A and B are shown apart, each in its own frame.
Chain A
Amino acid sequence: MNWDDLLLMRHELQLLAVILIVTCAEIYLSGRDKSRIIPLSLALFGIHMAAGWLWPVEGELFGGMYRTNGLIHLMKSILDVGVFIVILQAGGWARKQLAPENRVSEFFLLIWSSLLGMYYMVSAGDLLMVFLGLELSTLPVAALAAYEVLKMRSAEAGIKFILTAGLASAVTLMGISLLYGSTGTFVLADLGKQMQGNSLEALGFIFFFAGVAFKISLVPFHFWTPDVYEGAPVSVAAYLSVISKGAAVFILMILLMGFAPLLTDLWVNVLYLLAILTMTIGNLFALRQRNLKRLLAYSAVAQAGFIMLGFMSSQQDGKASIIYFMLVYLFSNLAAFGVVQTIEMHTGKEDIGDYEGLYRTNPRLSLVMLLALFSLAGIPPLAGFFGKFFLFMTVASAGYYLLLTIAVINTVISLYYYLLIVRAMFLRKSDNPLPLVTSDGWMRAGLVICVAGIVALGVASGVYDAIYALCAHL
Chain B
Amino acid sequence: MEGYAYTIWIILLPFLVFLVTGVLSLRIRPQLAGWIGTAGILVTLVLSLLTAWNYFSAALPADGGWPTVIPVNYTWLRFSDTLVVHMGVLLDPISIMMLLVVSIVSSMVHIYSLGYMKDEPGFARYFAFLSLFSFSMYGLVLATNLFQIYFFWELVGVSSYLLIGFYYDRPSAVAAAKKAFIVTRFADFGFLVGILLLSWYSGTFDFLALNNPDGAAIAGAASATFMGASVLTWALVLIFMGGAGKSAMFPLHIWLPDAMEGPTPVSALIHAATMVVAGVYLVARLFPVYHMSGGAALEVVAWTGAITALFAALIAITQEDIKRVLAYSTMSQIGYMMLSLGVSGYGGEEGLGYTASMFHLFTHAMFKALLFLGAGAVIHAVHSNVMGDMGGLRKYLPITHAAFLVACLAIAGIPPLSGFFSKDEILAAALHHNPAIYGIALLVAGLTALYMFRLYFRVFWGEEKAYAHKPHEAPLVMWGPLMVLAALSVVGGFIPFGHYVSSDRQVMAMHPEMSIAVTASVVSIAGILLAMWLYRRPSALPAQIAGSLGSLYQSAKNKFYIDEIYMGVTKKILFAGIATPVAWFDRHIVDGTMNAIANLTARISSVIKGLQSGHVQQYAVGFVVGVLGLVVIFIYWLKF
Contact A221 B631 (CB under 8 A): no
Chain A residues, Cβ within 8 Å of B612: 223, 226, 285
| Size category of the binding interface on chain A | 35 or more
C-beta contact mask, B614-629 vs A, less than 8 Å → 1, else 0?
Answer: 1010111011111101
Give the shortest distance, in Å, between A20 (CB) and chain B (any CB).
36
A164-B623, A210-B627, A285-B612 are contacts. A413–B635 as well, Cβ < 8 Å?
no
- A contact patch SS: helix
Q: In the complex, which of the residues B598, B620, B634, B638 contacts A167, with contact meaning CB atoms closer than 8 Å?
A: B620
Give the shortest distance, in Å, between A466 (CB) and chain B (any CB).
11
Cα(A266)–Cα(B633), bound, Å? 11
What residue of chain B has the Cβ atom nearest to residue A210's Cβ?
A: B627
Cα(A171)–Cα(B627), bound, Å? 9
B604 within 8 A of A: yes
B74 within 8 A of A: yes
- How many chain B residues touch A (CB < 8 A): the figure is 34
Contact A220 B620 (CB under 8 A): no
A206-B627, A285-B609 are contacts. A461–B634 as well, Cβ < 8 Å?
no
Cα(A58)–Cα(B298), bound, Å? 60
Contact A223 B622 (CB under 8 A): yes
Summed over the interface, the residue pairs from A and B with CB atoms below 8 Å come to a total of: 87
Cα(A432)–Cα(B435), bound, Å? 75
Give the shortest distance, in Å, between A363 (CB) and chain B (any CB).
14
What residue of chain B has the Cβ atom nearest to residue A218's Cβ?
A: B626
Give the shortest distance, in Å, between A57 (CB) and chain B (any CB).
27
Q: In the complex, which of the residues B75, B609, B627, B635 contacts A202, with contact meaning CB atoms closer than 8 Å?
A: B635
Q: In the complex, which of the residues A163, A210, A266, A461 contacts B640, with contact meaning CB atoms closer than 8 Å?
A: A266
Interface-centre pick from A163, A164, A167, A220 (highest chain B CB count, 10 A): A220
Chain B residues, Cβ within 8 Å of A30: none
Chain A residues, Cβ within 8 Å of B638: 269
Give the shortest distance, in Å, between A168 (CB) and chain B (any CB).
7
A206-B630, A206-B631, A270-B630 are contacts. A214–B616 as well, Cβ < 8 Å?
no
Contact A273 B633 (CB under 8 A): yes
A173 within 8 A of B: no
Give the shortest distance, in Å, between B187 (CB) and chain A (any CB).
23
Cα(A188)–Cα(B626), bound, Å? 26
A159-B616, A284-B605, A285-B609 are contacts. A223–B78 as well, Cβ < 8 Å?
no
Within 8 A of B (CB), among A284-332: 284-285, 287-288
C-beta contact mask, A196-211 vs B, less than 8 Å → 1, else 0?
Answer: 0001001100110110
Interface-centre pick from B605, B616, B620 (highest chain A CB count, 10 A): B616
Contact A284 B626 (CB under 8 A): no
A76 within 8 A of B: no
A465 within 8 A of B: yes
Interface-centre pick from B74, B601, B602, B630 (highest chain A CB count, 10 A): B630
Q: In the complex, which of the residues B601, B606, B625, B629 contacts A413, with contact meaning CB atoms closer than 8 Å?
A: B601
A284-B601, A462-B75 are contacts. A203–B629 as well, Cβ < 8 Å?
no
Contact A265 B640 (CB under 8 A): yes
B77 within 8 A of A: yes
Contact A223 B604 (CB under 8 A): no
Contact A269 B616 (CB under 8 A): no
Q: Which residues of B come within 8 Å of A, CB atoms?
A: 74-78, 598, 601-602, 604-606, 608-609, 611-612, 614, 616, 618-620, 622-627, 629-631, 633-635, 638, 640
17 contacts between A and B (CB under 8 A): A160-B619, A167-B624, A199-B635, A202-B635, A203-B635, A207-B627, A220-B623, A223-B619, A223-B623, A224-B619, A284-B601, A284-B604, A284-B608, A285-B609, A285-B612, A416-B598, A461-B78
Besides A210-B626, A223-B618, 19 other A-B contacts (C-beta < 8 A): A159-B616, A160-B616, A202-B635, A203-B631, A206-B634, A209-B630, A210-B623, A214-B623, A221-B626, A223-B619, A224-B619, A269-B638, A284-B605, A288-B605, A288-B609, A416-B598, A461-B76, A462-B74, A465-B78
